[in-house]
């Protein structure tokens, strides 16, 4: 009887001790894998902003130069192909999945113009985190569109990567000139912008590679865009002036006009000269939207 009791006692110690050890080992492993994930995130993101000098920037470089097109391709992440896996089944990881349309009304206007078109292609410049006030998420989620999300700020770009958008991603900016260029970008959450030469720069900055709009289209081998959302805090008109509208077909646009130096008339007049009319305006009392919706004449 004594022997049996002793054995039982032994097991009553050994088994719980074994379980506790197992838990500790797993916890340790999990913690260290978490740390590697965070570390790799930083590494992965900064890799995109670490430029080596090539001769493919500046006024002498053409936006349809095959070397530029190849370079754009190197700055494009295929839909759901980023190296940081935020879920194995590629499901959306949204902060507010219950919000059907996080845009401030732009998406609804475009949806009405295009009559709930399915399988379209969008380009959104100033994509922020890919969810907050996103003008394109609805199209992707409910109408099976795909597209290209362009966002220069590394802090925002990493957030886009986490959301598993079914779109191409690019940690770059639309050039305000008809050639590729590296610019100084002022990081300021949803109000970040390209620092124009001569202007006083405040806050954190980062160097960002910009490409002309047309170079992205050539890299993606497309000439048709169903909806282009342009919200880049003041340089919208400069970007629009780089676009060869006669060579491509952009069916609808939303363009923020609030910060454009020439004012909203400068934007509407230029777009009129390119064959577009104003469908409507989208405004928001808290200045969260001040957009023209353009369609073709
Ligand atoms: C930047 O690139 C250089 C050369 O390609 C490399 O040696 C360096 O480690 C990179 N830095 C970062 C932060 O990725
Ligand atoms: C959704 O779009 C993809 C292309 O992006 C296409 O292959 C697929 O057939 C579409 N699905 C439906 C249900 O329209
Ligand atoms: C580009 O697209 C056209 C049709 O839209 C296709 O015929 C051509 O093969 C594509 N080129 C490449 C390089 O994918």
Whether residue 104 contacts residue 284, with contact meaning beta carbons closer than 8 Å, is answered with: yes
CB 122 within 8 A of CB 139: yes
Q: What is the CATH number of the domain that holds 217?
A: 3.40.50.150
52 CA: nearest ligand 1 atom: 5
E strands, the chain, in order: 121-125, 146-150, 168-170, 173-174, 181-186, 193-194, 205-211, 224-230, 249-256, 276-283, 290-296
How many domains does the chain fold into? Answer: 1
CB 108 within 8 A of CB 118: no
* Residues with Cβ within 8 Å of residue 110, at least 6 apart in sequence: 135, 139, 227, 252, 254, 293
In a domain, 33, yes or no: no
Pocket lining: 46 vs ligand 1, CB cutoff 6 Å: yes
With a 6 Å cutoff on the Cβ, whether 146 touches ligand 2 is: yes
The answer to the question of residue 152 being in a domain is: yes
227 CA from centroid of ligand 3 (Å): 21
Judge whether 23 lies within some domain: no
pTM: 0.86
DSSP annotation of 295 reads E
Residue 27 resides in a domain: no
Q: Is the CB of 144 under 6 A from ligand 2?
A: yes
- Ligand 1 in reach of 55 Cβ (< 6 A): no
**Ligand minimally distant from the alpha carbon of residue 168:** 2
107 CA distance to ligand 3 middle (Å): 29
Q: How far apart are CA 109 and CA 281, in angstroms?
A: 9
Radius of gyration for the alpha carbons in the chain, expressed in angstroms and rounded? 24
Residue 53 Cβ < 6 Å to ligand 1: no
Q: Which domain holds residue 80?
A: 48-296
**Closest ligand, as measured to the CA of 53:** 1
Is residue 251 situated within a structural domain? Answer: yes
Q: Does residue 221's CB lie within 6 angstroms of at least one atom of ligand 1? A: no
Residue with tokens 């002498």: 60
> Do residues 78 and 85 touch, judged by C-beta distance below 8 A?
no
Whether 213 is in a domain gets the answer yes
Are 167 and 147 in contact by the 8 Å Cβ rule? The answer is yes
For 173-190, the pLDDT digits (tens) are 999 999 999 999 988 877
Ligand 2 atom 4: residue of nearest CA: 119
What the block records as the tokens of 106 is: 């732009």
Predicted pLDDT at 3: 55
Ligand 1 centroid–CA 64 distance in Å is 28
The per-residue pLDDT for 106 is 97
* CA dihedral for 132, 133, 134, 139, sign (positive or negative): positive
Could you tell me if the CB of 51 is within 6 A of ligand 1? no
Do residues 61 and 158 touch, judged by C-beta distance below 8 A? Answer: no
Q: Is there a domain that residue 159 lies in?
A: yes
Per-residue model confidence as pLDDT tens for the chain (297 residues):
555 556 666 677 788 888 888 877 776 665 555 555 556 788 888 889 988 889 999 999 999 999 999 999 999 999 998 888 888 888 999 999 999 999 999 999 999 999 999 999 999 999 999 999 999 999 999 999 999 999 999 999 999 999 999 999 999 999 999 999 999 998 887 778 888 777 777 778 899 999 999 999 999 999 999 999 999 988 999 999 999 999 999 999 999 998 898 889 999 999 999 999 999 999 988 778 899 999 999
Q: Per the domain annotation, does 11 fall within a domain?
A: no
Nearest to 217 by CA among 153, 147, 167, 297: 147
């Amino acid at each position: 009887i004594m022997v049996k009791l002793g054995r039982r006692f032994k097991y009553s110690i050994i088994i719980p001790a074994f379980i506790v050890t197992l838990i500790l080992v797993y916890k340790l492993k999990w913690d260290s894998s978490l740390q590697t994930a965070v570390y790799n995130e930083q590494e992965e993101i900064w890799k995109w902003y670490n430029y080596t000098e090539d001769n493919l920037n500046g006024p002498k470089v053409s936006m349809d130069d095959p070397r530029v097109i190849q370079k754009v391709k190197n700055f494009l992440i295929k839909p759901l192909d980023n190296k940081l896996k935020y879920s194995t089944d590629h499901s959306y990881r949204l902060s507010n999945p219950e919000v059907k349309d996080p845009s401030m009304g732009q998406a609804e206007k475009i949806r009405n113009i295009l009559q709930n078109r399915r399988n379209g292609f969008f380009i959104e410049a100033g994509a922020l985190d890919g969810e907050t006030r996103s003008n394109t998420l609805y199209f992707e989620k409910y109408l099976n569109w795909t597209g290209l999300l362009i966002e220069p700020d590394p802090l925002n770009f990493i957030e886009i990567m986490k959301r598993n958008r079914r779109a191409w991603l690019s940690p770059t900016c639309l050039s305000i000139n008809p050639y590729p260029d590296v610019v100084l970008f002022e990081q300021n959450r949803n109000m970040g912008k390209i620092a124009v030469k001569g202007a006083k720069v405040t806050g954190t900055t980062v160097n960002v590679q910009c490409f002309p709009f047309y170079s992205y289209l050539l890299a993606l081998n497309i000439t048709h865009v169903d909806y282009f959302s342009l919200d880049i805090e003041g340089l919208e008109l400069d970007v629009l002036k780089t676009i060869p509208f006669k060579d491509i077909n952009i069916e609808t646009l939303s363009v923020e006009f609030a910060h454009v130096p020439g004012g909203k008339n400068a934007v509407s007049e230029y777009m009129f000269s390119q064959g577009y009319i104003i469908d409507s305006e989208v405004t928001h009392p808290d200045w969260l939207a001040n957009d023209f919706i353009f369609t073709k004449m």
